[in-house]
Amino acid sequence: MNTTASARRRTFAAALMGVALAGAAAVPAAASAAHPKAPGHDRAAEALGVRYGGSARLGYQKAVAVQLLKGVFERGDTSVVDRFVRPDYIQHNPLAPDGSEALKYFGAIQRQQYPDLAYDIKRVISEGDLVLVHSNIVLAPGTRGVAAFDIFRFQGGKIAEHWDVLQAVPATTANGNDMFSTVSRPRTEAPGPAWLTAYNKKLVTAFVDRLLVTKDLSAIDAYVGPEYDQHNPNIPDGVAGVKTGLGAYFTQFPQLQIIPKRIVAEGDLVAVHSNYVDTPGTRGQAVVDLFRVRDGRIVEHWDAVQEVPESSANGNTMF
């Protein structure tokens, strides 16, 4: 039994390291817009851009993010790093060092260790210079794998910085939904029309500030639709489920502080990357909450939660 538990821990650690090195690079906060013919553009990225849509620049950024993750971790193709990643990138995954060479090295051995690894990408959104990728990373066929959110920042057409949040997928959930599917209408993983982005981002920002930052449960009635589909594996489905689940959470941790760090929105999808600190003086958790908005109401939610470790291989925080 102890040997089995140890093996599972090693397997999960390997999964974390695999995603850890899908990172990006260090540069000033302001990022310039990337033209479709910017450095790093190729036909594979262009083809992916057709699938993920959006404006030319946003489509290009989404295509590059997908090409990097698929190339490095499914094919062991380290050449995509030279094409798409800046050599001076900043890495925020605590298991991975900075720099593109670390990514190339790991990509080479990852393919040897896990030849059947699948980076099953569920949805991709982009706004400004940021791209968020929601995925199920499966090391071996038949296993549940890890729920992952990767956030990439672009500069000059190449990836410049990377954050992620990773959570093991459980065998069962409190709501009967898995951590990845789309239940609300329309049942598509693609983001909605671009003209919805600004309104939905403002709505979710107000919701998060009222519900999570100030811990006002009445925000659920004000912002959440009557048909609310929950993918957090520990919270029951529906409006009643989120009220009960969050109410108990707020009661258990009366000094809880939730600090939003960045928001990425496209169409009807809005992602919030935050630091949840249950108790003052602790490091807390890195969390990405992804919300879907329809007709001015939040109708679906996915997330991933990861404990913030004491130390980091890169000297950066997770935020």
C-alpha angle with apex 54: 191 to 90, nearest 5 degrees?
A: 90
* Integer CA distances (angstroms), 238 to 62, 163, 207, 252, 295, in order: 31, 30, 17, 21, 17
Rounded-to-integer distance, Cα 258 and Cα 51, Å: 35
Structure token pair of residue 249: 């959470």
- Please tell me the distance from the alpha carbon of residue 316 to that of residue 169, in angstroms, as a whole number: 26
Residue 123 contacts residue 189 (beta carbons within 8 Å):
yes
Those residues with Cβ within 8 angstroms of residue 297's Cβ, 6 or more apart along the chain or in another chain: 223, 224, 225
User: What SS3 state is found at 22?
Assistant: coil
Residue segments in the chain with a per-residue pLDDT below the cut of 70: 1-54
* Per-residue pLDDT, 54: 53
Reference 165, options 274, 72, 256, 279; nearest CA is 274
The token pair at 159 is: 């990836």
Task: List, as one string, the DSSP characters of 58-82.
Answer: HHHHHHHHHHHHHHHHTS--THHHH
- Which amino acid is it at 58? L
Tens of pLDDT along 3-16? 333 333 333 444 44
Q: Which domains does the chain have, with CATH numbers?
A: 2-168 (3.10.450.50), 194-307 (3.10.450.50)
> How far, CA to CA in Å, does 267 sit from each of 51, 55, 142, 200, 236?
16, 12, 33, 7, 26
Rounded Cα distance, 128 and 161, in Å: 14
Segment 278-312, tens digit of pLDDT: 999 999 999 999 999 999 999 999 999 999 999 99
